[in-house]
Amino acid sequence: MGWLAIALIALAGWLIWTGRLQRMTVKDGMALGAALVGAVMAAKGKPVAGLPLLVGSALFFLARSRKGRAQGRPPVVPATAEGLARARALLGLPPEADAKAVKAAHRRLIASVHPDHGGTEALAAEINAARDLLLRHLKSGPGQA
């Protein structure tokens, strides 16, 4: 019984930590309901009936988290000379700028264009993309592209 309570607390903590409780869908609610029914059944001495509900709910949430993580990664675009020049121009950097200079320029610019300070999300995203492109290029070797 104690391990079951710990598992439910862990599930609730995971849901809160990942933000799933803020954007819960009907399927999430049904899976959470099934987990609760399974927990109650297991607590009342019917673990054979409750365990499949708990395991099914856990697998449902695990599959959703993995699917979301895989979809959340944007495809890596190879750095072209034109893209690098545009990123350097956006951040106001010379071609010989190192990673430290890229990070400093990004910090300076993002402070003024961040949506919390009156800027736009699009411009902040563009500056972040420029920083990521330049840092990825520097990490892979400046002689490429």
Q: Could you tell me which residues come within 8 angstroms of residue 20 by beta carbon, excluding any fewer than 6 positions away?
A: 14, 28, 61
The confidence score (pLDDT) of residue 90 equals 92
Please give the pLDDT value at position 88. Answer: 93
In angstroms, the CA 20 to CA 69 distance is 13
Task: Choose the weakest-confidence range: 30-44, 61-75, 90-104, 130-144.
Answer: 61-75
CA 74 → CA 45, 87, 118, distances in Å? Answer: 47, 18, 26
12 or 104, higher pLDDT? 104
The verdict on pTM exceeding 0.85 is no
pLDDT digits (tens, 9 = 90+) for 83-123: 899 999 999 999 999 999 999 999 999 888 877 777 788 88
What structural domains and CATH numbers belong to the chain?
Answer: 2-72 (no CATH), 81-140 (1.10.287.110)
Q: What is the pLDDT of residues 25-58, one digit of tens each?
A: 788 888 888 988 888 888 888 889 888 998 998 8
Residue 77 — pLDDT band, cuts 50, 70, 90? low
- Joined tokens for residue 88: 């350097």
Predicted confidence band of residue 65 (pLDDT cuts 50, 70, 90): confident
CA angle 124, 135, 82 (to 5 degrees): 80
User: For 135-139, what is the mean pLDDT?
Assistant: 90
DSSP result, 45-84: T-HHHHHHHHHHHHHHHHHHHHHHHHHHSPPPPPPPHHHH
Task: Give the pLDDT confidence score for residue 92 in this predicted structure.
Answer: 93
